[in-house]
A and B are shown apart, each in its own frame.
Chain A
Amino acid sequence: MNRMTFETRLFGVLRWVTIVFLAIATLFPFYYMVLLSVRSQDSLLQHPGDILPKLSDFTVTTYTTVLKSVAAGGDGLLELLGNSALVAVGTVIVTLALSLPGAYAASRLRFAGRRQVHFLFLAVYLFPSILLAIPLFVIFSKAGLRDSLVGLLVVYVAQALPVSIYMLRNYLSTIPESIEEAAAIDGNGRLGTLWRVTLPLAAPSIVATGLYVFMIAWNEFLFALLFLVEDRSKWTVSLGLSQLAGGLEVPKTVLMAGSVVLTIPIVILFFAAERLLAEGLTSGAEKG
């Protein structure tokens, strides 16, 4: 057997080993999460090694416990879902409203500093969030924004803007300018062209970017923790769940039910638009 056939066979086998390994590594933790969320704590403690669902153990009380309001003796995650949704959707809208014109400018218009737009990235991502958190904590406290969802939204918008502009700009630069010029010749002004021609063409990218921004805002933890921890009614789901884990007598199965509740909106959105997201994030990267 020469080297060629040896390697070809070896990698033929290794490829499948890798695929199976990756499938298990990525899917198992989430399978385990769902599995535990419908088991009772007792059954988990007695048989920690079981990874197959058993009908006799099946329960949904974990979900009712974690979702019910605190007044009703639950953990009140349902109310917190509203907070998370509000902040995340708000962040998406504001970020898109700001980054669309910005991305358009960066991809189409010539102005001083256009090539320096990537410094935005450096500014936002070079410094640890924890560094920004200290002064923001003080500024927002003074402005009365700290324990409000608006303050959180402003921070999230700032965190999401650079990547949003980057994704949109990459996509916009793939749209031929001749289309816009044709619209301009047909009598559209710059805004008219933007509204009637560029935006509809960029719709897939806008959806992908919106989704990514939603993900950033929905998943964020540090700023929620620093700003909102004192006021329970303002907590996001992530924060609520992490605070729940601090309680000693909270069963792990209930925590897992909470994790499922926290994860499901993202997974649904994401599987609905996975292809868009993958392309939106990496378009332009092909060129290196």
Chain B
Amino acid sequence: MTSAHTVRNRPAPAKPTGRPPRRRRALTLRQQESRAGLALLSPTLIIVLVVVVLPVVWTIVLAFQRLRLATLQREGIFGRFTLQNFAKVLGSADMWSSLGTTLVYTIGGTVLSLALGLVAALALRKPFRGRAFLRSAMLLPYVSPVVAATFVWEIMLSPQFGVVNAWGKSIFGWDKPVAFLSQETSTLSLFGWHVHLPLALLVVIAFEGWRYFPFTFLFLIARLQAVPKELEEAALVDGATPTQRFRHILLPQLYPVLALLSVLRFILTFNKFDDVYLLTGGGAGTDVLSVRVYDFLTAQFDVGGAAAQALVLAVVLVVFLVVYLKFFAPEDRA
């Protein structure tokens, strides 16, 4: 079991050969090591088992039962099984439009946070006065509590007393205030074209990009600073312009991190609840799936429905990940 793993080129802690014979049937150092490893990791495994794995399994069971919050406490784990929840969840048109919203939100948020993070990393790569300060300040959206961040956005965008609408009126001459967070569509007229924009959804995506670009920025700038200087200098000597250097020198170096970050952000955004819930409450065309699950649970007390809905959410995510890993993942993924 263990000998198959000796891939690391590190010296073994001690060689059992050439030693005087040990006491009776003592464990080899290797066995001791193996046991110690599992023992040290076991508290973590137990917590994750109890707080994550067990609930997931139970959710699967719940999804096949008709249960309300009130009856759940009395009935055991094994009630009568039924497919009703799934019929209800999958048969509702809202669910499919909600899935579409979730995907737009997830892809938009992921792309925006990666793009902003990349631009920020490129801009802050070379030193300038105040860079250290800006670097720290830029992490503020990421580290500040979500409740505080959403409140500031709400107030900034408020139609009555928000600074955005006040400026929009006085500087850009908007004739009436825009309700950014409660207006489902906004019509933009451009050269005679009328474009319908899902306004609230776009604002929520912008919030996601704003809040999480510091995260991608951190990883990207760390990677950028590890790119050997000689590579770029050589390209410069060869007469490569900034865009060419970015395209052919930096970008290939960044691919693995970009791929990893996009998967990570995709998963986390797909499951995101609090940002959308706090900004719009899931209204105005921003009813992402996780907020729907919450509504099932707290407004309708329908545990079975909520579980089925949550399960659909997880399955869709897994399908996306499998497709991604199969077709788009870089060869040497970690």
**Residues of A in contact with B (beta carbons under 8 Å apart):** 3-4, 7-8, 11, 15, 18-19, 22-23, 25-27, 29-30, 32-33, 36, 44-45, 47-49, 51, 98-99, 101-102, 104-106, 109-115, 117, 120, 123-136, 138-139, 141-142, 154-155, 157-158, 161-162, 165, 177, 181, 184, 190, 215, 218-219, 221-222, 237-238, 241-242, 245, 252, 255-256, 259-260, 262-263, 266-267, 270-271, 274, 277-279, 281-283, 285-288
Contacts and interface: CB of A to CB of B under 8 A. Distances in A.
A266 B143 contact: yes
A278 B297 CA distance: 38
Interface centre among A7, A115, A283 (most CB of B within 10 A): A7
Interface residues of B, number: 110
B294 A266 contact: no
A251 to B, nearest CB: 10
A117 B334 CA distance: 13
A245 B146 CA distance: 14
Nearest to B55: A135
A171 B193 CA distance: 55
A109 B147 contact: no
Given A26-B138, A274-B135, 4 more contacts: A111-B2, A177-B10, A219-B143, A256-B151
Contact of A259 (B140, B151, B271, B290): B151
What 5 pairs between A and B have smallest CB-CB spacing?
A111-B37, A49-B166, A288-B256, A109-B37, A158-B51
A238 B274 CA distance: 11
Contacts of A33: 148, 151-152
Contacts of B16: none
A155 B45 CA distance: 14
Given A98-B44, A101-B40, A124-B48, A270 B151 contact: no
Nearest to A215: B143
B44 A134 contact: no
Contacts, number: 299
Contacts of B162: 48
A221 B166 contact: no
Interface stretch (B18-26, B88-96, B179-187, B218-226): B218-226
B155 A255 contact: yes
Nearest to A190: B36
B265 to A, nearest CB: 11
B241 interface: yes
Interface in B122-150: 122-124, 128, 134-141, 143-149
B324 interface: no
B146 A221 contact: yes
